[in-house]
């Protein structure tokens, strides 16, 4: 078996792409998109009809640009769900990352749009940035039976808070953690010392030891060493180029994470509240910087997508 086939026996593989052809090729269980991936996919000719439909829908329902973006994200999600057996993650506008009420409102609308298209909410994860406000929005949504994928997650504090409110899934950004430490320290890291891999391992062990049901999905990988270092994680979302590398190798994949090991290696439960969360984030320069940067970049790509649609379709 190649490494991707071996990995699938240990971990649910998710395609980190908005391109339908890539999803058809790799046949992942789940798929996840974000504003950057939607911006890229919207510029592909074969998906033009998905953009045109979103524009027409928004015009027919008041012409609201925010509605257009939500409908576009849902259109891609509906198309993706034709080729995956599981779930698709659809992101709330990153510019709402510090607005709990509006995040909830937009999430509910996204679910309504999916239901209009004949897709049950069970097949959708709402992606929300792991700010305190985003986590509180997820708490409200989960209470209504709407499952959330907490994204832009870089710290143990974020992970604990997400588990405490019962989020369905978290997406710790492995590669971006590594990027920060490489820049900050100037050091070279191995699979064993990679700070992103170590961070996700700590979170996974904590969840399993303390009985948290929140799923851990490693994301934002820079190389297959990071992926293999997390073999056994609940889910891993992997870009097409790294999926190709895994398919091209038949080297043995060793399970690195397990619920059994977590009982020995996991930290004891800590109590989380807003004050603890904000202090732990304040003390973590990497997480604070990468969360802010991630929100800014997703917001920038959303603005670019809006401008592209206005120029090409309006």
pLDDT digits (tens, 9 = 90+) for 74-117: 999 999 999 999 999 999 999 999 999 999 999 999 999 999 99
For the chain, the average pLDDT equals 95
Report, as an integer, the average pLDDT of 56-61.
Answer: 95
Please give the model's pTM, rounded to 2 decimal places. 0.94
- Tell me: pLDDT of 201 over 90: yes
Contact 69, 304 (CB under 8 A): no
Is 211 exposed, middle or buried (CB count within 10 Å of its CB: 0-12, 13-18, 19+)? exposed
Contact 110, 144 (CB under 8 A): no
- Tell me: pLDDT of 139 over 90: yes
Active-site residue, from 9, 40, 71, 127:
127
**127 catalytic residue (yes or no):** yes
Q: What is the pLDDT of residues 223-248, one digit of tens each?
A: 999 999 999 999 999 999 999 999 99
- Tell me: pLDDT of 175 over 90: yes
- For residue 310, the model assigns a pLDDT of 92
Report, as an integer, the average pLDDT of 117-142.
Answer: 98
Work out the percent of the chain whose per-residue pLDDT is above 70: 100
**Topology given in CATH for the domain delimited by 10-313:** TIM Barrel (3.20.20)
- For residue 19, the model assigns a pLDDT of 82
Tally of CA atoms within 13 A in the half-sphere of 277 that contains its CB: 20
| pLDDT tier, 2 (very low <50, low <70, confident <90, very high otherwise) | very high
- For residue 124, the model assigns a pLDDT of 98
Angle (CA) 126-127-128 rounded to 5° is 115
Report, as an integer, the average pLDDT of 253-266.
Answer: 97
Label each residue of 18-62 as H, E or C.
Answer: CCHHHHHHHCCCEEECCHHHHHHHHCCHHHHHHHHHHHHHHHHCC
Contact 34, 151 (CB under 8 A): yes
- Tell me: pLDDT of 63 over 80: no
**Residue among 130, 114, 134, 116 at smallest CA distance from 73:** 114
- Tell me: pLDDT of 178 over 90: yes
Domain boundaries, the chain: 10-313
- For residue 72, the model assigns a pLDDT of 96
Question: How do beta strands 88-91 and 169-172 pair?
Answer: unpaired
Tally of CA atoms within 13 A in the half-sphere of 260 that contains its CB: 3
Report, as an integer, the average pLDDT of 51-77.
Answer: 94
- The beta strand positions in the chain, using DSSP E, are 12-16, 30-32, 88-91, 124-129, 148-153, 169-172, 215-218, 235-238
């Amino acid at each position: 078996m190649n490494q991707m086939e071996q990995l699938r026996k240990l971990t649910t593989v998710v395609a980190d792409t908005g391109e339908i052809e890539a999803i058809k090729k790799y046949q992942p269980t789940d798929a996840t998109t974000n504003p950057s991936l939607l911006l890229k996919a919207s510029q592909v000719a074969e998906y033009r009809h998905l953009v045109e439909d979103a524009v027409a829908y928004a015009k027919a329902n008041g012409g609201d640009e925010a509605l257009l973006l939500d409908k576009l994200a849902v259109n891609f999600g509906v198309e993706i769900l034709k080729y995956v057996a599981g779930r698709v993650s659809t992101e709330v506008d990153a510019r709402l990352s510090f607005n709990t009420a509006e995040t909830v409102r937009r999430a509910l609308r996204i679910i309504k749009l999916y239901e209009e298209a004949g897709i049950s909410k069970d097949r959708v994860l709402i992606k929300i940035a792991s700010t305190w406000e985003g986590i509180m929005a997820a708490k409200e949504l989960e209470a209504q039976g709407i499952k959330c994928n907490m994204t832009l997650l870089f710290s143990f504090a974020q992970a604990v808070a997400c588990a405490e409110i019962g989020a369905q899934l978290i997406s710790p950004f492995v590669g971006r953690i590594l990027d920060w430490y490489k820049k900050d320290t100037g050091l070279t890291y191995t699979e064993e010392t990679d700070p992103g891999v170590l961070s996700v391992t700590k979170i996974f062990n904590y969840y399993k030891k303390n009985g948290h049901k929140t799923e851990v999905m490693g994301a934002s990988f820079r190389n297959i060493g990071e992926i293999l270092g997390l073999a056994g994680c609940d889910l891993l979302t992997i870009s097409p180029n790294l999926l190709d590398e895994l398919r091209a190798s038949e080297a043995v994949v060793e399970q690195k994470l397990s619920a059994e090991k977590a009982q020995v290696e996991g930290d004891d439960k800590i109590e989380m509240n807003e004050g603890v969360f904000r202090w732990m984030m304040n003390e973590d320069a990497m997480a604070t910087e990468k969360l802010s940067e991630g929100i800014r970049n997703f917001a920038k790509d959303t603005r670019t997508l809006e401008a592209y649609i206005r120029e090409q379709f309006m």
